[in-house]
């Protein structure tokens, strides 16, 4: 399938690792010009070099599209600050052109139970998972609406559908973000801008390993035992691969997905049992 996004420009937040990097790689494979944004300058530069070597010229992608003219840029920015957000957007536009695809992503907050949440924890949920995403959208949405084409995709969590144990801060902030984005999707649909969420289950990233390690410590067992137990709860009986998540994200950002908006799509191997 030709995803029809070669030559578009994407800003992928928190893309120096984990799911953000998986999405950036999938978009690059389709000829999208990608801004790799994160706090680790050296790592961002390594990723840009990798992408340019793989997709800078020739043919790539599932559809065999020509990727000549592909480019990527490394941007060091703290996207939890207004200054970092403004800098990342300005540099992306200056180096790659107007932003057509915005991928919202960020670090997960600390684990913790709902019964022990403090007022600072509630504030942190919004500071990490709502305010930066809203600010990014506010910067890029006017241009998308004016050009009558845009894709806004948030990397969320299956906790949006079924709140996850011991992740109360994450559950709170991600649910609030989902409510904002669902509302926004209806408001901008006439402008040919889609707004969706992609919800991972147990994808094999460093973040999931950290959560498994925390669970092992809390329960006095081993990481291997926790991972085995976790796999048994997944109908696919395995953790997902980052590339599988990236492929789903690329489709939601594509031209053929133009009639899909306001959706929270799960990529979880059947982990969440509701429809």
Give 108 or 24, the one with higher predicted confidence.
24
The predicted pLDDT at position 111 comes to: 85
Q: What is the pLDDT of residue 69?
A: 61
Number of Cα atoms under 13 Å in the Cβ half of residue 235: 8
Q: What is the mean pLDDT of residues 16-34?
A: 97
Per-residue confidence (pLDDT) for residue 123, from 0 to 100: 92
Please provide the average confidence, as pLDDT, over all residues in the chain.
93
Give tens-digit pLDDT for 35-82: 999 999 999 999 999 999 998 754 444 444 444 568 999 999 999 999
Q: How many percent of the chain have pLDDT more than 90?
A: 84
Share of the chain above pLDDT 70, in %: 95
Sequence-separated (6 or more) residues with CB below 8 Å from residue 68: 57, 58
Radius of gyration of the chain, Cα coordinates, nearest whole angstrom: 18
Q: What is the pLDDT of residues 98-153, one digit of tens each?
A: 999 999 998 878 888 999 999 999 999 999 999 999 999 999 999 999 999 999 99
pLDDT of residue 65: 46
What is the predicted pLDDT for the residue at 83? 97
- Output 111 or 223, whichever has higher pLDDT: 223
Residue 38 and residue 88 in contact, taking contact as beta carbons nearer than 8 Å: no
Per the CB < 8 A criterion, the answer to whether 200 and 161 are in contact is no
At 207 the pLDDT is 84
pLDDT at 59: 41
Q: Pairing between strand 9-12 and 33-38?
A: parallel
> Rounded to an integer, what is the distance from CA 88 to the centroid of its chain?
16
Rounded average pLDDT over 142-165:
94
In contact, 155 and 248? CB cutoff 8 Å: no
pLDDT band at 235 (very low <50, low <70, confident <90, very high): very high
Backbone angles phi, psi at 23, to 5 degrees: -70, -45
Residue 3 has pLDDT above 70, yes or no: yes
Reported confidence tier of residue 1, pLDDT bands at 50, 70, 90: confident
Question: How far is 201 from 237, CA to CA, in rounded Å?
Answer: 12
pLDDT recorded at residue 63: 43
Please report the pLDDT score of residue 64 as a whole number.
47
Is a pLDDT exceeding 70 seen at residue 215? yes
d(CA 113, CA 134): 26
Instruction: Quick: pLDDT tens for 241-260.
Output: 999 999 999 999 999 999 99
């Amino acid at each position: 399938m030709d995803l029809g996004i070669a030559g578009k420009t994407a800003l992928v937040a928190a893309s120096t690792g984990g799911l953000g990097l998986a999405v950036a790689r999938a978009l690059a494979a389709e000829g999208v010009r990608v801004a790799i944004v994160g706090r680790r300058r050296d790592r961002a530069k390594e990723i840009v070099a990798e992408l340019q070597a793989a997709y800078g010229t020739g043919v790539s992608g599932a559809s065999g599209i020509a990727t000549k003219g592909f480019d990527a840029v490394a941007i060091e920015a703290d996207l939890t600050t207004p200054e970092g957000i403004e800098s990342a957007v300005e540099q992306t536009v200056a180096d790659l052109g107007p932003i057509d695809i915005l991928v919202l992503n960020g670090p997960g907050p600390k684990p913790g139970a709902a019964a022990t949440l403090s007022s600072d924890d509630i504030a942190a949920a919004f500071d990490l998972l709502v305010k930066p995403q809203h600010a990014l959208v506010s910067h890029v949405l006017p241009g998308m609406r004016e050009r009558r084409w845009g894709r806004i995709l948030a990397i969320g969590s299956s906790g949006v559908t079924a709140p996850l144990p011991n992740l109360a801060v994450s559950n709170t902030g991600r649910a609030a973000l989902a409510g904002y984005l669902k509302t926004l999707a209806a408001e901008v649909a006439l402008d040919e801008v889609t707004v969706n969420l992609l919800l991972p289950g147990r994808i094999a990233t460093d973040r999931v390993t950290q959560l498994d390690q925390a669970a092992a410590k809390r329960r006095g067992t081993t990481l291997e035992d926790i991972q085995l137990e976790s796999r048994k709860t997944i109908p696919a009986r395995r953790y997902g691969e980052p590339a599988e998540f990236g492929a789903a994200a690329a489709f939601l950002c594509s031209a053929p997905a133009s009639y899909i908006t306001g959706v929270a799509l799960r990529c979880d191997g059947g982990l969440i049992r509701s429809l």
